[in-house]
Amino acid sequence: MSSASSTTSGAAKPASTRAKPANKWEAAADWTDGRLGIYSLAKANLRKIFPDHWSFMLGEICLYSFIIIILTGVYLTLFFKPSMGEVIYNGSYVPLKGISMSEAYASTLDISFEVRGGLLIRQIHHWAALVFVAAMLVHMMRVFFTGAFRKPREVNWVFGFLLLVLGMFDGFFGYSLPDDLLSGTGIRFMEGAILAVPLVGTYMQMFLYGGEFPGHDIIPRFFTIHVLLVPGIMLGLLVAHLILVFYHKHTQWAGPGKTEKNVVGMPLMPVYMAKAGGFFFLVFGLIAAISAIASINPIWAYGPYRPDQVSTDAQPDWYMGFSEGLIRVMPGWEISLWGHTLNLGVFVPLMIFPLVLVAIAVYPFIEGWITGDKREHHILDRPRNAPVRTALGAAWISLYLVLLIGGGNDLFATHLHLSINSITYFVRVGFFVVPVITFIVTKRWCLGLQRRDKEKVLHGRETGVIKRLPHGEFVEVHAQLPQKDLFKLTAHEQVQPVELPAQTDENGVARKAGVLTRTRAKLSRGFYGEGAQIPKPTAEEHHEITSGHGHH
Amino acid sequence: MSHDMSEEKLPEPHGSHGEVADHGNPFADPGLPAHEPRRTDIDERAAKRAERQVSLMFVISMIATIGFIASYVGIDPDKIVYIFPLGHVSALNFALGLTLGVALFMIGAGAVHWARTLMSDVELPAERHPIEADDEVRADVINQFKTGAAESGFGRRKMIRNTLIGSMALVPLSGVVLLRDLGPLPEKKLQETGWKAATPVKPLQLLNMNTGQPMKAEDVVIGSLTFAMPEDLSTHDEDFQQRIAKDALMLVRIAPEDIKDEESKEKGFEGILAYSKICTHVGCPISLYEQQTHHALCPCHQSTFDLADGARVIFGPAGHPLPQLKITTDEKGFLVAKGDFDEPVGPSFWERAR
């Protein structure tokens, strides 16, 4: 680093090769760089280009609500007592005075009524959690429908998926902590679900709860899981997720000047520092305002948890609604044999729940296997240009929504004056039928949109100008699209289905393709074969039409 | 594909915007469009106005923060105000939330407005580089790894390798063993309830959950629903929560001729039937009773039981009927139980017989 300068006279200081800093800020930066190497890091990132599109903000909402949750959560731990020890409430909320309750519930009441601003922070914490999971789901849908999960981003997709699942569960652990009548019901449900696991269910239940339900351990244990274990893992995944976003550089929509080899947009400093940094405050501000005007989880209205009491309309937070739907609509099948009971009515939903999630998690790998595409993809697909993928995604969402209806069957029944039995039967059938219908409708819709794009490219847009021809016929004048639109509408590439390898080798010996190869070819035909996409217009077609009569 | 087309010249497109870069290909990439300046880029007065707007937002944020502190100090936490259309809300929560919301939002709004009006909006391209390394780097890394592996002798000295794998595989067992004391073994805990203390010699009275008093048969009228617990349980007990989670009873009285299940009638007393209140689905307390049909509904997942027919499941996800406790009366005429349920209460589990 330092070069020994001259050997001449006096106090020869070991000098740095670096030029003298212009001011004290540069000097401070030099000092830091000499220890942390910030210049090399900043070189690649300070003016890093990010493309602009509203849908790219969804991930930011996730990040910001996560930060809000951490900030408010730390504040709440200063007052919350994760204990199931019984106390007699003597706070300022009169209706509960003199009632015995757990310390967890009493301290949550104190946060709500005694600590000034405590209720606000509690409500921000809970609202931010709802926004967090919702934003993650929508962000994931954005990535799914635009094909942003393709190589090289499959691993980051999995990180994001894990964040979603962990976020859901941490939400569940979090709203279980106050030990109010509603959250205790959730913990009781969890006990029943665990007991339904064959062979080890009772052991798992005893070990998790420290004995029989409810015991005295579950709230302190959930507290540690909620504030330390899960957020710690999530923080690690989040950092990895963001590092990969920077490393891969952001995807972009097709458009003039945008290729697979570049990224077009504005620099991190100053534009995205201001926009993204500002967006954090917008999200925080909005959630704070919502927490000022909309009450969430008013635990004082539910009362303390008692295993022999329950309120009607008991509902989990929305993101657990689809699992609630599974558990509500599953028929109560139970197999009793040889002194053992297999509770399928609970165990089957318990197994389908992760399957619903995993189905979406593994999709990038399945699609990658079907296409056999090993190239990197940085230009996003318009959903219409990947009809089967879009239809599968829509089918998944429809399944999710059907299950949400099942999870809220009591609310739908009371609010829409429907029979709860009919809703349940509808969901039982809809679970199988609605995704299929959604798949078919979405796929056709996409194909229709592809046809429309083709029409626009070949025949131009309608101008609204009606022209009368010499022989009296009226025609509408179509105007050729500008070059940038022609490019944009034809920029997507169309995957061709993979062919089965020849059934005989060069010597004429039969060589049967394996089951996997055949499945793959079949799937590939389904994804990209005839009827799964509209061939995009070719230059010849365009030439033929435009060279003829000018307009058509 | 649009790229493999012939070189033949296409005629000029007829549209008004036909600026074609590549005459051979009508779909060619025209390249990045030229930057279109915003008003603030060319009009200094507009830029000044934007600057004032941004500063105004930051000033509003400062005022809101002062408002937040003032509300914190000045507003009584117990004060309730009526605000249309929210209704009666906590004045402090409302004031703190709105001032904090405005203070934060205005910082964000100012920053975004600043970026959109005053910072450069020229779109710039940056090159991408493939994520995967080129073959030279790849070969070099693999070579380094092989050198390292060879120097370690990991592959050659099999005894070291195998014992290392063995020790690494065993050491997590300590962690697993440490988890043993998380809880007791299930044993018979889930098979029995607090009612097991009741014997024919020393029966347990059924206490009314609301009054805490024992009940006589005439206290339970036809069509009523009463919740009960064993007399040896008190709400102040250390293990009350744990016991009531299994011992809670639901008493109904049905005209004997309406009871369809003979065994159920047998276990009851003059039409008074004592069912477990804990749902056999996942353990919610069943609390909705439809008097005319004798149906009991669990509000959690809507399992519905016909209490006149041995609590048979007639709808919903529950897998088996509610267990019924055999009751009778003691010499003073109070309702008592002389034994435990004859099957486990609550959600079913693997070791549950029957």
Residue A313 is predicted with a pLDDT of 76
ipTM reported for the complex, 2 dp: 0.89
Please give the helix or strand (H or E) that residue B325 lies within, else none: strand B324-325
Provide the shortest C-alpha distance from residue B289 to chain A (in Å).
13
Q: Which of A124-133, A232-241, B54-63, B261-270 has the lowest mean pLDDT?
A: B261-270
Which residues lie below 8 Å from residue B319, measured CB to CB, with a gap of 6+? A332, A333, A334, A343, A344, A345, A346, B280, B281, B313, B348
**DSSP character for A130?**
H
- In tens, the pLDDT along A413-437 reads 889 999 888 999 999 999 999 999 9
Residue A3 is predicted with a pLDDT of 45
DSSP state string for B285-324:
BP-EEETTTTEEE-TTT--EEEGGGTTEEEESS--SPPPE
| A501 — pLDDT class (breaks 50, 70, 90) | confident
Residue of A200, A240, A192, A191 lying closest to A218 (CA atoms): A191
CB B102 within 8 A of CB B61: yes
For residues A251 and A470, what is the distance between their CA atoms, to the nearest angstrom?
52
Residue B236 is predicted with a pLDDT of 85
- In tens, the pLDDT along B263-297 reads 999 999 999 999 999 999 999 999 889 888 999 99
Which residues lie below 8 Å from residue A187, measured CB to CB, with a gap of 6+? A176, A213, A214, A218, A222, A305
Residue B273 is predicted with a pLDDT of 92
Tokens 């592959």 belong to B155
Among B33, B190, B301, whose Cβ lies nearest the Cβ of A484? B33
CB A116 within 8 A of CB B71: no
Say what angle helices A273-293 and A58-77 make with each other, to 10 degrees.
60
- Say how many CB pairs under 8 Å bridge A and B: 388
| A500 — pLDDT class (breaks 50, 70, 90) | confident
Compute CA distances A343 → B77, B97, B252, B319, B352, whole Å. Answer: 50, 47, 28, 7, 10
Using the predicted structure, report yes or no on whether residue B235 has a pLDDT greater than 80.
Answer: yes
CA angle A71, A72, A76 (to 5 degrees): 125
Among A200, A217, A264, whose Cβ lies nearest the Cβ of B123? A264
Among B16, B236, B348, whose Cβ lies nearest the Cβ of A343? B348
For residues B43 and B116, what is the distance between their CA atoms, to the nearest angstrom?
15
Which stretches does DSSP call E strand in A130-289? Answer: 262-267
Residue of A243, A257, A203, A15 lying closest to B123 (CA atoms): A257
CB B236 within 8 A of CB A100: yes
- In tens, the pLDDT along A341-353 reads 989 889 999 999 9
Using the predicted structure, report yes or no on whether residue A480 has a pLDDT greater than 70.
Answer: yes
Using the predicted structure, report yes or no on whether residue A531 has a pLDDT greater than 90.
Answer: no
Q: Tell if the CB–CB gap between B27 and A342 is shorter than 8 Å.
A: no
For residues A105 and A139, what is the distance between their CA atoms, to the nearest angstrom?
35
Residue B21 is predicted with a pLDDT of 45
- In tens, the pLDDT along A51-101 reads 999 999 999 999 999 999 999 999 999 999 999 999 999 999 999 999 999
State chain B's mean pLDDT as an integer: 89
For residues A37 and A45, what is the distance between their CA atoms, to the nearest angstrom?
13
Compute CA distances A354 → A134, A359, A390, B323, whole Å. Answer: 18, 8, 22, 32
Residue A6 is predicted with a pLDDT of 45
State the amino acid at position A523 in one-letter form.
L
- In tens, the pLDDT along A387-422 reads 999 999 999 999 999 999 999 888 888 899 998 889
Reduced to 3 states (helix: H, G, I; strand: E, B; else coil), residue B326 is: coil
Q: What mean pLDDT is predicted for residues B29-41?
A: 91
Residue of A188, A216, A205, A189 lying closest to B184 (CA atoms): A205
Task: State the first-to-last Cα distance of chain B, in angstroms, to the nearest integer.
Answer: 68
CB B346 within 8 A of CB B319: no
Provide the shortest C-alpha distance from residue B169 to chain A (in Å).
23
Q: What mean pLDDT is predicted for residues B42-70?
A: 96
Burial of residue B215 (CB within 10 Å: 0-12, 13-18, 19+) is buried
For residues A513 and B143, what is the distance between their CA atoms, to the nearest angstrom?
37
For residues B198 and B193, what is the distance between their CA atoms, to the nearest angstrom?
10
User: What percent of chain A is modeled with pLDDT above 90?
Assistant: 71
Q: Tell if the CB–CB gap between B128 and A378 is shorter than 8 Å.
A: yes
Q: Which of A181-185, A313-317, B138-142, B217-221 has the lowest mean pLDDT?
A: A313-317
Reduced to 3 states (helix: H, G, I; strand: E, B; else coil), residue B127 is: strand
Query: Looking at chain B, which residue has its C-alpha nearest residue A314?
Result: B300
Residue B13 is predicted with a pLDDT of 40
Chain A residues touching residue B17 (CB < 8 angstroms): 479-483
Chain B residues touching residue A249 (CB < 8 angstroms): 126, 128
Reduced to 3 states (helix: H, G, I; strand: E, B; else coil), residue A175 is: helix
- In tens, the pLDDT along A244-300 reads 999 999 999 999 999 999 999 999 999 999 999 999 999 999 999 999 999 899 999
